[in-house]
Structure 1
Amino acid sequence: MAPAARPTLNDDFLWLLRRAAAPLKSAPWWVQVTLVYLAARVVSYAILLATAGHDGVTPWGSGPAGYLDFINRWDGEWYQRIYSGGYPHSIPRDGNGNAQTNAWAFYPLFPFLVRGLHAATTLDWVVLAPAVATLAGLAATLMIYVLFARFVPGATALWGAAFFATFPISPVLQIPYAESLSTFLLAAALYLLITSRYGWAIPVVILLCLSRPAGVPFAGVVAVHILLRWRRRRRTPFPPREAAGSLVLLLVSGAMALAWMFIAWAATGERSAYTDTETSWRGGTLVLFKPWFDAGVQLVGPLWGPLLPVLLAALAALALNSHAVRLIGTELRVWCALYLLYLLAVLDPQTSTFRMLLPLFPLALAAAAGSNSRAYRWTVVVMFTALQIVWVVWLWRWTPLPGGGDYPP
């Protein structure tokens, strides 16, 4: 009889790892999610800190930067301006009347929340803003787990939350941007909609639409939800009180989709203040869908370029109709479809587009539910973490282009 194989050092390490992780399996779900999120943020912190140590000459300074200074860049600088001085009373324009970049492109909830906390704590922006963003990211991850757990067992929901927490652009969850706060509000709004708590969803949607531009696709999701409930009313009752509440939510969502444009108009006296400001970054007027076709032409030429957006839309449609994505429920699928359509309509495709994909977090559940294999799931986490390095080094770190400037993250 062959002798039994001797345990290796690797076997001992795995045994110790399993023993150390065993108590976590019986811990409350919120403890598990919190630990996953904190571990992901520590890894992102290390990536950001290591990249900051190799910083050179930038518009924000010269030489290696500290962590807090390094993350307070790009749009974070705009949010800090709003925190310090609010919004301009008129749209700055050049000699030809073209709008110049200004704070009206950025929504007020995040910087004003930090300003309120500053009044209560006296902590400065450079400390308080990242803290608020990081805690909002934790709230978003917890809320996303709760949302996912309506469709899949807790273990799969936890993996979905882990995919979100380690997503390639997830370092933005601890950077003074509005993404973490808006993602929490979006996840909460979707959960309240799906559970038919329309009255509670109304204030959440109002805050959501003051954090990031999400009102148009969300109003579309509410409309589809109402139509589905009305269609199924004989099998699943749709009481008049709930029907009325859902219609109020639809009206509020539609109104808030346009609210920031009207606020900018009222504050500046210029009807096109918001749209002029948004398009000042692209150097032209807003023409729906056109920037994607222009980008296709720039990438592959005039013959095949116009087909690229069509191909992207076809691939997105196939993905959203896959078996794994069907597991996430109708409302979450509709949200992903309408949000992608919204990006295709209004976004000027550039390197910031990667960051704009964060609201598609329901697809993390589809990715987690697609396979129960631990090897697959850990591979996704490792791959996402490696891509964080790519995102931070490529886009967050300033690398001057030959023509000046740099690709924005």
Structure 2
Amino acid sequence: MSAATGTRAGLTTRISQAAGRAGDVFRGWPWWLQVVALYCGSRLAGAFIFMAAALHQGPNPWFPAKPDYWNFVNIWDARWYGEIVINGYPSELPTDDSGNVQENAWAFYPLFPALARGLGAITGLSPAASLTLVAMLSGVGAALVAYALFRRKAAHAAALWGVVFFATFPVSAILQVPYAEPLTLLLLAAALLLVVRRRYLWAMPVVLLMCLSRPVGVPFAAMVGLLLIYRLIQRLRRAASMASAPGGHTSRELAGLAALTAVSGASALIWPAAAWAATGDIQAYTKTETVWRGHDLVPFKPWFDTGVQLFGPVLGVMAPFIFAGLFALLLFSPPVVQLGVELRLWCACYMGYLLMFLHPQTSTFRMLLPLFPLALSAALLSRSRAYRGTVLVMFVLLQIVWIVWLWAWAQLPGGGDYPP
């Protein structure tokens, strides 16, 4: 063996030994420190991708070319949240000369900017800095609560890998920018954890706050409503068969679940009602939301329109049905079944909500984040290190694609750009 070959072999051995020692140290940490370390590592990787993409950012509507990291992450909807922190919401809907409602702050829910405004008042931080800090802290909290939720369904290693997949998902870079997604995911994970633990009354204030962060109240109310029906049927079947098997809901738990269903449904209407009260227009929220899509809201229709544009008049009409069928099959796959009825119902209701109300576009990728329980299913699919490592690498590479393609601004031939 040559000296060079021996040197390389020795170096490889030392690296392997160092990695093994680092792994032993990591495994000795408490679970929460492991989760925080992995999450912060994923956000550091995201920061490097953002900084590299910023070096190639050309002229844009917000700042000069090649911005620094902090300017680069404070664009798109982050500017709307900053505007809300400073000026609040308009008392009248802005319109053009033809009376058509224009883009305005009522499309953005109030909890995230309210927390940033409070933090800024206490610390003196600028709106952009306050929003960024709230988002980053919320992201750490979301990872911790997601792990606690995953541990209800899987062992420590699988739950930890579920958090890794959640934190490195191709659109997870949104968790470190001044968007409301991290806060919503924190509250959603907490609400789901409380539902899984049957702490329905404790879930009520969490759901109320969640419904003031982003529009996820409707699918959550549908989920707990269907869960109530499911538990009632279970109760009736047990009563009919005179079964005494453990695990059924008590009358008190069913009452709590019914109350949570009512609270969730009412909470989903709070923000549209607030927009109505402030502007005097009962359709203030829906008019504002539909400005970005360019036409009125017609349930399901945008998916068929997009399908026809992408795949033609025949396959395009079939595409939404094929997509919905494939997702339904996914929910009955063994790794997803292991999530339990609550999390599967949430995924089904949220995807149904997107199919009913969402206008499919490039922002749709970001809107898939509330399906984060499926990250645990991805981890449960195989224990193979090769499989899990491959998924991790693929996710990080797709983060580069998402940031360069959608976050970085490049004007389209017809004007504007694809939104992230």
- Structure 2-normalised TM-score? 0.94
Equivalent residue, structure 2, for 1:181? 183
Residue 398 of structure 2 is aligned to residue 393 of structure 1: no
Aligned match of 2:253 in 242, 247, 266? 242
Cα deviation per residue 1:73-125 (whole Å; 9 max; x = unaligned)?
00111111111111111111222222111111110000010001111111112
Q: Aligned equivalents of 2:12 and 2:358: distance in 1?
A: 49
SS at match of 1:379: helix
Shift of 1:131: 1.4
Shift of 1:11: 3.5
Aligned match of 2:372 in 329, 351, 361? 361
Equivalent residue, structure 2, for 1:62? 64
Q: Aligned equivalents of 2:325 and 2:252: distance in 1?
A: 39
Q: Aligned equivalents of 2:337 and 2:10: distance in 1?
A: 43
Cα deviation per residue 1:353-384 (whole Å; 9 max; x = unaligned)?
00000000000000000100011111111110
Structure 1 stretches of 4+ with a deviation exceeding 6 A read none
Shift of 1:225: 2.2
Equivalent residue, structure 2, for 1:36? 38
Equivalent residue, structure 1, for 2:151? 149
Equivalent residue, structure 2, for 1:263? 274
Residue 278 of structure 2 is aligned to residue 278 of structure 1: no
Q: Aligned equivalents of 2:190 and 2:128: distance in 1?
A: 28
Equivalent residue, structure 2, for 1:171? 173
Q: Aligned equivalents of 1:281 and 1:230: distance in 2?
A: 41
Q: Aligned equivalents of 1:44 and 1:172: distance in 2?
A: 9
Cα deviation per residue 1:389-408 (whole Å; 9 max; x = unaligned)?
00000000011100000000
Equivalent residue, structure 2, for 1:16? 18
Q: Aligned equivalents of 1:264 and 1:342: distance in 2?
A: 21
Pairing of 1:325-336 with structure 2 (within 5 A):
325-336=336-347
Aligned match of 1:118 in 117, 120, 125? 120
The residue type paired with residue 220 of structure 1 is A
Aligned match of 1:402 in 394, 405, 413? 413
What number of residue pairs does the alignment pair up? 405
SS at match of 2:269: helix
Gaps of 5+ in 2: 239-244
SS at match of 1:213: coil
Equivalent residue, structure 1, for 2:324? 313
Q: Aligned equivalents of 1:295 and 1:229: distance in 2?
A: 38
Preserved CA contact (<8 Å) 2:304 2:319: yes
SS at match of 1:385: helix
Shift of 1:44: 0.3
Q: Aligned equivalents of 1:279 and 1:182: distance in 2?
A: 22
Equivalent residue, structure 1, for 2:73? 71
Equivalent residue, structure 2, for 1:213? 215
Q: Aligned equivalents of 1:321 and 1:204: distance in 2?
A: 29
Equivalent residue, structure 1, for 2:303? 292
Residue 359 of structure 2 is aligned to residue 348 of structure 1: yes
Shift of 1:228: 2.8
Q: Aligned equivalents of 1:244 and 1:319: distance in 2?
A: 32
Cα deviation per residue 1:148-200 (whole Å; 9 max; x = unaligned)?
00011011000000000111111111100000000000000001011111111
Q: Aligned equivalents of 2:249 and 2:177: distance in 1?
A: 42
- Structure 1-normalised TM-score? 0.97
- Greater mean alpha carbon deviation, residues 196-205 or residues 219-228: 219-228
SS at match of 1:305: helix
Shift of 1:303: 2.4
Q: Aligned equivalents of 1:149 and 1:383: distance in 2?
A: 25
Aligned sequence identity (%): 54
RMSD between aligned alpha carbons? Answer: 1.3
Shift of 1:237: 4.5
Cα deviation per residue 1:210-240 (whole Å; 9 max; x = unaligned)?
0010111111111122223333344334333
Q: Aligned equivalents of 1:257 and 1:307: distance in 2?
A: 31
The residue type paired with residue 46 of structure 1 is F
Q: Aligned equivalents of 2:98 and 2:308: distance in 1?
A: 28
SS at match of 2:268: helix
Shift of 1:247: 1.5
Residue 119 of structure 2 is aligned to residue 108 of structure 1: no
Equivalent residue, structure 1, for 2:98? 96
Equivalent residue, structure 1, for 2:242? none
The residue type paired with residue 71 of structure 2 is D
SS at match of 1:87: coil
Shift of 1:342: 0.4
The residue type paired with residue 381 of structure 1 is L
The residue type paired with residue 69 of structure 1 is N
SS at match of 1:232: helix
Equivalent residue, structure 2, for 1:195? 197
Q: Aligned equivalents of 1:14 and 1:326: distance in 2?
A: 37
Equivalent residue, structure 2, for 1:27? 29
